[in-house]
Amino acid sequence: SNEVNAVIIMFGGSGDLAHRKLYPALFGLYRKGVLKDHFAVIGTARRPWSDDYYRGVVRDSVAGSEEEHEAEAEAFASHFYYQSHDVTDSSHYVTLKQLAQKLDDQYAVGGNRMYYMAMAPQFFATIATHLKSEALLTKTGFNRLIIEKPFGHDYPSAKELNDALTGTFAEEQIYRIDHYLGKEMAQAILALRFGNPLLKTVWNKDYIKDIQITLAEAVGVEERAGYYETAGALRDMVQNHVMQLLAYLTMDEPTAMTSEAVHEVKSRAFDQLHRYTEEEAAANFIRAQYTAAAIDGQAIKGYREEDGVASASLTDTFVAGRIMTDAPAFAGVPIFIRTGKRLTRKSTQVTVTFKGGKTPFGEGQDAHLTIYIEPSQGYTLELNGKQLGEGNILTPNRLDFRHDPAAIAAAPEAYERLIGEALAGDQTNFNHWRELAQTWHYVDVITAAWQKQTGIETYPAGTMGPQAAFDLLAKDGHQWYWQP
């Protein structure tokens, strides 16, 4: 069986992420028997909750609409324990250690521990340090850490955090999560690229005109202005999610789908990114902020009017950029990326445009391969075909594959998949420190360039960003490819 024994210690157990994503993910693993009889979860946070109250919260987060899950949810929640915890108080770690040991005995776990940091990032280092000083790591079984983003806000802070973590955990024990790597269609990029000689042979500068990555969101900053004001779209989305997708699109073929082989090619892809000077970064990256607009007759606030946002804030809610790589296979191929809040709709899609060109039939059109990551999941590929009727007239045909919504709903959600992999000891789809260091270095130059700017572009809520983001492509004869 694939059952895993573990005491899972959740820092941030009362938080929004735990409630929305982590408990449902653990429940999914429970329903598959990965977590079964030999596990317990200790939720910790500041507030004083009883075990009973906590179990109610857990049940509530996994209940859903299906009644037949109720008994299962009840049994699942009985494995949850709550510990009120002040992350700076050493004595609290002693209590936590004792509770973990007691539950380890009670559920015959055998020493495995999974620590999950899912709370305010300023405490990540403090917790790691205390786990060591109060000797929480066990001598038998595994000790693994899953850590959420943000992993620092620039290279120096990320390095400082990493140093604190590696004082307690070895690299093989650290699972730095990027939930985009748990998405089916993000993984499918690799299947498409390396599973098809048809695509593999043309995946280079001779045939590719450009690569585009769009992570569009319809929502605004929601209740997260406090965090978002310190981050912005570049740090919130580009340094992590966009960069990971970019690596999948441009990295060399790994020798196998193992953690070591995948991290090796990914890291090489990041190494080969063409590093801009600040001047070049300013010319190739555009930041912008949404302004008030009426969407479907509803008044939407501009970013600066949102609760908790400074009235003269220069925080980017949108980024568009042109990234170049020095990887020989892609020399000269621009990679256009964009992401933002309050765009027209939620859609993550990636397009690779293959060059048209001269054919015996005349000029062939550019052909697009678009991979739909979410909410639609699938891909479309255009090929030039022959127009019906007389003559030899080329016409683009579009092949369209989408996963069935019911099948998508039945597949594990990103968090379930990733936590399952961490429990199984598979680091393939987690970030190695090297990758974070590389992506922060890349992004820090852009931040530095922007810090010298006194203004910011704007776009009305409900649009695809400022005109400048379109001009960025148009000046070299490219344009955004954006599918319904």
Q: Any idea which residue has 């037949």 for tokens?
A: 68
Which is catalytic among the residues 241, 263, 368, 432? 241
CB of 414 to ligand BG6, least distance (A): 7
200 annotated ligand binder:
no
38 known ligand binder: no
Kindly state the helix (H) or strand (E) to which residue 48 belongs, with its residue range: none
Asked if residue 94 belongs to a known ligand binding site, the reply is no
Nearer to ligand BG6, 210 or 217 (CB): 217
In angstroms, what is the minimal distance from the CB of 224 to ligand BG6? 7
What's the CA gap between 148 and 127, in Å, rounded?
Answer: 13
CA–CA gap between residue 27 and residue 358 (Å, rounded): 55
Tokens representing residue 453 in the block: 């700017």
Size of the site for ligand BG6 (CB under 6 A): 6
Is 87 annotated for ligand binding? Answer: yes
Question: Is 241 labeled as catalytic in the residue annotation?
Answer: yes
Window 319-378: residues binding ligand BG6 (CB under 6 A): 348, 374
Q: Has 260 been labeled as part of a binding site?
A: no
For residues 84 and 483, which CB has a smaller minimum distance to ligand BG6 in the complex? 483
Pick between residue 232 and residue 254 the one whose CB is nearest to ligand BG6. 232
Tell the smallest beta-carbon distance from residue 179 to ligand BG6 (Å). 6
Question: Is 205 labeled as ligand-binding?
Answer: no
The DSSP code sequence of 135-174 is T-S-SSS-EEEEEPSP--SSHHHHHHHHHHHHTTS-GGGE
Query: Has 309 been labeled as part of a binding site?
Result: no
Query: Smaller CB distance to ligand BG6: residue 254 or 302?
Result: 302
Local structure of residue 181 (DSSP, 8 states): G
Q: Closest distance between ligand BG6 and the C-beta of residue 461, in Å?
A: 15
Q: Say if residue 88 is exposed, middle or buried (CB neighbours under 10 Å; 0-12, 13-18, 19+).
A: exposed
Class of residue 375 by CB neighbours under 10 A (exposed 0-12, middle 13-18, buried 19+): exposed
3-state secondary structure of 269: helix
306 binds ligand BG6 (CB under 6 A): no
Does residue 316 touch ligand BG6 according to CB under 6 A?
no
CB of 316 to ligand BG6, least distance (A): 12
Indicate whether 421 belongs to the interface with ligand BG6 (CB under 6 A). Answer: no
Query: In whole angstroms, how far apart are CA 125 and each of 147, 152, 235?
Result: 11, 11, 19
Single-letter amino acid, residue 421? E
> Which of 236/316 has CB closer to ligand BG6?
236
Q: Of the candidates 184, 210, 217, 444, which one interacts with ligand BG6 according to CB under 6 A?
A: 217
Measured from the CB atom, is 178 or 210 closer to ligand BG6? 178
Interface with ligand BG6, residue 435, by CB under 6 A:
no
Per the annotation, does 346 bind a ligand? Answer: yes
Q: Which of 104, 210, 236, 444 binds ligand BG6 (CB under 6 A)?
A: 236
Binding mask 174-193 for ligand BG6 (x = CB under 6 A): -----x--------------
| 416 touches ligand BG6 by CB under 6 A | no
Q: d(Cα 484, Cα 479) in Å, to the nearest integer?
A: 16
Instruction: Give dist(CA 405, CA 415) in Å, integer.
Output: 18
Task: Scan for tokens 């748990």, then name that residue.
Answer: 182
378-386 and 367-374: which strand pairing?
antiparallel
Percentages (nearest 5) of helix, strand, coil residues in the chain: 40, 25, 35
Smallest gap from residue 369 Cβ to ligand BG6 (A) = 21
Residue 372 phi/psi, 5-degree rounding, is -95, 115
- Does the footprint of ligand BG6 cover residue 148 (CB under 6 A)? no
**Coil vs helix vs strand at 329:** helix
Q: Which residue, 373 or 381, is less far from ligand BG6 as judged by CB?
A: 373
**Other C-beta atoms lying within 10 Å of the C-beta of residue 291:** 18
**Residue ranges for the binding site for NADP(+)?**
46, 86-87, 149
Binding site for ligand BG6 (CB under 6 A): 149, 179, 217, 236, 348, 374
Which residues are marked as active site?
241
